[in-house]
Amino acid sequence: MNLYLLKAKCITFFCCLMFAQTVLFAQSNVKITIKKNEITLREALTEVEKQSKMSIAYNESQLGGSKRISLNVKGLPLEQALKAILKGTGFGYKVKDNYIMIVPEKKEKSVSKEIKGRIVDEQGEALIGVNVSVNGGSIGTITDLNGDFAINVAQNDLLKVSYIGYTTQMVKVTDKTTYNITMKSDAKALDEVVVTALGIKREAKALTYNVQEIKSSVITRVKDANFVNSLSGKIAGVTINQSSSGTGGSSRVVMRGTKSLFGENNALYVLDGVPMQGLRTKQSDNFYESVEVADGDGISNINPEDIESISVLTGASAAALYGNRGANGVILITTKKGVVGKPKISYSNSTTFSKPFITPEFQNTYGRKEGEFKSWGDKLETPSNYNPLDFFQTGFNVMNSVSLSTGTETNQTHISFGAVNSEGIIDNNKYNRYNFTFRNSWDIVKNVLSMDMGLFYIKQNNQNSNGQGMYYNPLVPVYLFPPSDDMNKYVVYERYDPDRNFKTQYWPYKNQGLGMQNPYWIINRNMFNTNRNRYIVSLSMKWNITNWLNIIGRARVDNAYTDFERKLYASTDGLFSKSQGNYMTQDDKNTATYLDFLLNVDKKFGEDYHLLVATMMNNINRAHTKATW
């Protein structure tokens, strides 16, 4: 019996060996011929199946069945034919028995290295915030204030360099460690019509300086109480920093990096061709002070729904017409006009909510020593559950706007009304603004004499704008509060004082040399209130003497009346008030009168094209302040 089994096993093994040799012999004798242009990988592999009489398995979604190749394979062995078909696809093959498997090629593990570089524009100026990323990967970075970047990549990676207003570049990583890249302006935008520094519409490709334009749809996509904040990330080379003074606060707009250590770095705003006055009556002088008159900058009063477009000028082109006022760059704002056609009524609403997004990290392991405020004591028996974020609330911003636009061929009118009502993430910080806009364009004599008249009226209230320095800033005691204590004990921020016969501040830690007070006392008993009424009236007339010669005259009066009230209740820290408290009112009146005349010559002489603009302007600014303590 055992002898019989042994014979059977030998016969079976001999048959299998002969079969395997037959398969290998058959594979080696298979010749593949494919001569086709624009054939897909799938079609090529199907042809191999037919000619080799073997099955081919592959993942079609990975292989990319739509990719087309040209093949000229004539009488090649199976394996050579497969190599020719799969060349450059990132796939290889395995032959097993009577079928073929198409599998991804094993890639050698890349060694990561750090490369550095600097990115500039065509004038050699550093570009801030340029996106630098590994193409097809998740690794990326942006350039700093000097246009420098650093990123970890592998040899032969492809860097994708992109920036708003510039052509995207692909840079291959070689054995170099430093890369200097020059970005080129996007030629696709050159045919766009933009508004120049003098408020004249021209084709972008006809200008000798760099100008970027943003349409109203981009401005109103994400709305903010101060529309300038919504421009963040949309203008190449521009950094926008929102102040920490809470909702409705002003913003700092810096182009191409900081130019002055101690002077003004903000851009100049120009509304419909006329520079706007700044209305900030007081700024912080040092690390401790706060901005007491929280009135924002002049541009923050404008309703974003009234804006047609924004153009941005930088460098010498900005300073050429506005002198040192434009040295930091110019933001040109063009407002909407009426349109020809039937009356059109538009309504928009935007409601957003806000909460703290990025906050410092806090320790809750160590407590304070007896009689001290700072947490340099022993470890707590149980970690503190104090969470500074409990101090904040959910803020909101509601914006409503309704407009009417109508007109005929000779007369167009635009009227709008807007309202902004918001509360900050700190209790008792409120901002309300109401805008009324009227604009009328009239062709007095068709194609010869025209007039444009505009009126902006703004009514604004800002309550308890937060301090931006140490003083009057509730975040200082909230962030530095010792975790071994319980903040809930100080939510009721005042106690009755029988000696003084009224309630006084409850805060046993005193000011710690930082002007520190009970944070709930700051937001409820250090009251700051700002009211503003502002109107801007403008008138312009244009006389077309010929089809290439015209004169434009423009006039504007910008009046702003700001009332500021500060109330510091008794027992406020002595650094800020006397024992009985402090009351102060301040009235500010800012008046700006602007008048200019422009002579425009736009004519082609021979083969050369000439545009001449002669201008004469006069600008008067008056400010009057009256304060009472």
CATH value at residue 146: 2.60.40.1120
Q: Is residue 30 part of a domain?
A: yes
pLDDT band at residue 310 using 50, 70 and 90 as cut-offs: confident
Residues 177 and 52 in one domain: no
Domain termination site, one of 187, 207, 241 = 187
Which pLDDT score is estimated for 614?
60
Mean pLDDT highest for which of 29-33, 205-209, 461-465? 461-465
Residues 90 and 157 in one domain: no
CA distances from 272 to 332, 445, 496, 593 (A): 7, 22, 57, 15
CA distances from 393 to 354, 358, 463 (A): 9, 15, 16
**Phi-psi bin for 283: left (phi > 0), alpha (psi -120 to 50), beta?**
beta
Residues 89 and 118 in one domain: no
Residues 61 and 130 in one domain: no
Which pLDDT score is estimated for 21?
44
What DSSP string describes 380-411?
Answer: PSS-----GGGG---EEEEEEEEEEEEE-SSE
Across-strand partners of 438?
415, 455
Q: Is residue 477 part of a domain?
A: yes
Range with lowest mean pLDDT among 17-21, 408-412, 506-510: 17-21
Strand ranges, E, within 78-139: 91-96, 99-104, 112-120, 131-134
Range with lowest mean pLDDT among 1-5, 84-88, 180-184, 496-500: 1-5
- Which of 244, 238, 286 minimizes the C-alpha distance to 468? 244
Residues 452 and 353 in one domain: yes
Q: Is residue 475 part of a domain?
A: yes
Residues 444 and 463 in one domain: yes
Which pLDDT score is estimated for 461?
92
List, for residues 348-372, the tens digit of each pLDDT value.
998 989 888 777 888 888 888 777 7
Range with lowest mean pLDDT among 87-101, 200-214, 323-337, 377-391: 200-214
Residues 172 and 35 in one domain: no
Question: What does the pLDDT average to over 562-571?
Answer: 91
Question: What does the pLDDT average to over 110-129?
Answer: 84
More confident residue, 337 or 229: 337
DSSP H or E run through 154 = strand 148-154
Question: What does the pLDDT average to over 235-252?
Answer: 66
List, for residues 462-505, the tens digit of each pLDDT value.
888 777 677 888 988 999 898 888 899 999 999 999 999 999 99
Domain termination site, one of 57, 74, 104 = 104
Which pLDDT score is estimated for 19?
42
CA distances from 293 to 13, 283, 588 (A): 98, 8, 10
Question: What does the pLDDT average to over 436-460?
Answer: 94
Q: Is residue 570 part of a domain?
A: yes
- Which of 215, 226, 130 minimizes the C-alpha distance to 180? 130
In this predicted structure, the answer to whether residue 333 has a pLDDT above a threshold of 60 is: yes
Which pLDDT score is estimated for 116?
92
Q: Which residue has the tokens 């919504």?
A: 230
Task: Report whether 271 contacts 254 (CB < 8 A).
Answer: no
CA distances from 538 to 201, 436, 473 (A): 19, 14, 40
Residues 475 and 534 in one domain: yes
More confident residue, 213 or 491: 491
More confident residue, 426 or 46: 426
- Distance (Å, rounded) from C-alpha 125 to C-alpha 255? 11
Q: Is residue 267 part of a domain?
A: no
In this predicted structure, the answer to whether residue 256 has a pLDDT above a threshold of 70 is: no
pLDDT band at residue 344 using 50, 70 and 90 as cut-offs: very high
CA distances from 375 to 235, 363, 424 (A): 44, 9, 30
Q: Is residue 253 part of a domain?
A: no
616 phi/psi in degrees, rounded to 5: -135, 125
More confident residue, 282 or 623: 623
In this predicted structure, the answer to whether residue 106 has a pLDDT above a threshold of 80 is: no
Number of domains in the chain: 3
Structural domain including 51 reads 13-104
Residues 79 and 153 in one domain: no
Which pLDDT score is estimated for 22?
42
In this predicted structure, the answer to whether residue 376 has a pLDDT above a threshold of 70 is: yes
Range with lowest mean pLDDT among 299-303, 335-339, 454-458, 558-562: 299-303
Contacts of 599 (CB under 8 A, 6+ apart): 549, 550, 551, 612, 613, 614, 615
Mean pLDDT highest for which of 86-95, 230-239, 371-380, 433-442? 433-442
- Distance (Å, rounded) from C-alpha 219 to C-alpha 231? 7
Q: At what angle do helices 41-52 and 78-86 cross, to 10 degrees?
A: 170
The amino acid occupying position 250 is S
What CATH number is attached to the domain comprising 67? Answer: 3.55.50.30
Q: Is residue 271 part of a domain?
A: no
In this predicted structure, the answer to whether residue 187 has a pLDDT above a threshold of 70 is: no
Which pLDDT score is estimated for 23?
42
Task: Give percent of the chain above pLDDT 90.
Answer: 25
End-to-end CA distance of the chain: 122
List, for residues 449-463, the tens digit of each pLDDT value.
999 999 999 999 988
The amino acid occupying position 550 is N
Task: Give percent of the chain above pLDDT 70.
Answer: 74
Task: Report whether 113 contacts 154 (CB < 8 A).
Answer: yes
More confident residue, 152 or 605: 152
Residues 366 and 462 in one domain: yes
Residues 543 and 483 in one domain: yes
Q: Is residue 468 part of a domain?
A: yes
Q: Which residue has the tokens 């082109």?
A: 317
Average pLDDT score, the chain = 79
List, for residues 527-562, the tens digit of each pLDDT value.
999 999 999 999 999 999 998 888 999 999 999 999
Which pLDDT score is estimated for 240?
72
In this predicted structure, the answer to whether residue 342 has a pLDDT above a threshold of 80 is: yes
- Which of 442, 478, 438 minimizes the C-alpha distance to 458? 438
In this predicted structure, the answer to whether residue 276 has a pLDDT above a threshold of 90 is: no
Residues 602 and 473 in one domain: yes
Question: What does the pLDDT average to over 247-266?
Answer: 66
Task: Report whether 415 contacts 302 (CB < 8 A).
Answer: no
Contacts of 2 (CB under 8 A, 6+ apart): none
Domain termination site, one of 56, 78, 104 = 104
- Pairing assessment for the beta strands 251-255 and 494-497 based on DSSP bridges: unpaired
Question: What does the pLDDT average to over 95-115?
Answer: 73
